[in-house]
């Protein structure tokens, strides 16, 4: 994220980019439709649980483990191969996210370190901390140039400072920037994509936009497809106003699709079909 010409509230300034306000409004309407459904008044916990499962499946798919939803639902052992471990990591992160909401605004770096620890699920010395200079990054599906460890650390500190300072930026803008920065920086030696998408979810939930976590952006990102995801990310990394706005709009479309998915679940529950 370029800070050239930064204002006191650079995240809020991004909300003024062409088309971003429309994306913010469209997302708000989509989320409100879900929360207005009668099933949400009676069975919101069921919608939250289903959104968590579907979100984890979507995030894993973007990291190369594109399993059918029913396969994710029925499996209990996720230790077999790389794909199984990726799905298991996505499920663990989704479960962990809700426990970290109260910490995020005070210590986002602590939350990110915890998310990496949960995703990696081992006690290696590269786990739960940003990478050091010279350490390789296992993120083969993201082919963007990798910033140096020192640049990654500096930008990560800057991002954390913006989150702690707060501001008036719409939740969608903040979530998209957190997501985009983590993918651009790849601050950990592995699992950066899974961590980035979980952080996006934490922002959307913690901001109050989606307090019950029923509009899983990961569902929408997966539905839009990996090619579109990486193309939009490339626009964000370019730092141009058009590229950043396109990434925010892409994230907005993902949230809307996640909301649509939960609307479908609400309708199915209402019909007694699920």
CA–CA distance, 135 with 186 (Å, rounded to integer): 12
CA–CA distance, 255 with 248 (Å, rounded to integer): 11
| CA quadruple 61, 64, 68, 69: dihedral sign | negative
User: What is the model's pLDDT at position 2?
Assistant: 47
Cβ neighbors of 157 (< 8 A, separation 6 or more) are 109
Contact (Cβ atoms closer than 8 angstroms) between residue 88 and residue 56: no
- Which of 185, 180, 259 is CA-nearest to residue 14? 180
User: What is the model's pLDDT at position 255?
Assistant: 98
Q: Which two tokens stand for residue 122?
A: 């081992």
- Which of 60, 122, 68, 64 is CA-nearest to residue 88? 60
Backbone angle region of 65, left / alpha / beta, with phi > 0 → left and psi within -120 to 50 → alpha: beta
CA–CA distance, 70 with 17 (Å, rounded to integer): 40
User: What is the model's pLDDT at position 264?
Assistant: 97
Give the CA count within 13 Å in the CB-facing half-sphere of 262.
38
Q: CA dihedral in degrees (221, 224, 227, 229; nearest 10)?
A: -30
CA distance to 8, 191, 231, per residue, from 57 (Å) = 38, 15, 21
| CA quadruple 217, 218, 224, 229: dihedral sign | positive
**∠ at Cα 256 (274, 111), nearest 5°?**
90
Residue for token pair 């590269």: 126
User: What is the model's pLDDT at position 1?
Assistant: 56
Which residue stretches of the chain have pLDDT < 50? 2-6, 273-274
Q: Which two tokens stand for residue 2?
A: 């370029």
Helices (H), 166-240: 171-185, 192-206, 217-224, 226-238
User: What is the model's pLDDT at position 120?
Assistant: 94
CA–CA distance, 111 with 35 (Å, rounded to integer): 27
Model confidence pTM above 0.85 = yes
Contact (Cβ atoms closer than 8 angstroms) between residue 240 and residue 219: no
CA–CA distance, 226 with 150 (Å, rounded to integer): 29
């Amino acid at each position: 994220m370029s800070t050239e010409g930064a204002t006191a509230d650079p995240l809020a300034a991004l909300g003024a980019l062409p088309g971003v306000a429309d994306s913010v409004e469209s997302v708000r309407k989509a989320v409100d439709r879900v929360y207005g459904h009668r099933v949400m008044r009676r069975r919101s916990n069921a919608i939250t649980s289903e959104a968590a499962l579907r979100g984890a499946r979507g995030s894993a798919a973007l990291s190369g483990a594109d399993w059918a939803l029913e396969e994710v639902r029925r499996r209990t052992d996720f230790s077999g191969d790389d794909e199984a471990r990726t799905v298991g990591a996505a499920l663990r992160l989704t479960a962990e996210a809700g426990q970290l909401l109260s910490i995020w605004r005070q210590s986002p770096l602590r939350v990110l370190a915890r998310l990496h620890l949960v995703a990696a699920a081992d006690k290696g010395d590269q786990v739960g901390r940003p990478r050091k200079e010279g350490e390789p990054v296992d993120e083969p599906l993201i082919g963007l140039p990798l910033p140096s460890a020192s640049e990654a650390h500096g930008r990560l500190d800057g991002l954390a400072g913006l989150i702690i300072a707060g501001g008036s930026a719409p939740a969608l803008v903040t979530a998209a920037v957190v997501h985009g920065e983590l993918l651009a920086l790849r601050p950990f030696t592995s699992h950066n994509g899974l961590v980035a998408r979980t952080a996006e979810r934490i922002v959307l939930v913690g901001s109050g936009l989606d307090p019950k976590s029923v509009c899983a952006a990961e569902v929408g990102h997966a539905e839009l497809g990996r090619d579109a995801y990486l193309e939009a990310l490339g626009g964000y990394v370019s730092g141009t106003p058009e590229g950043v706005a396109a990434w925010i709009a892409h994230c907005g479309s993902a949230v809307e699709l996640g909301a649509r998915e939960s609307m479908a679940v609400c309708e199915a529950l209402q019909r007694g079909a699920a």
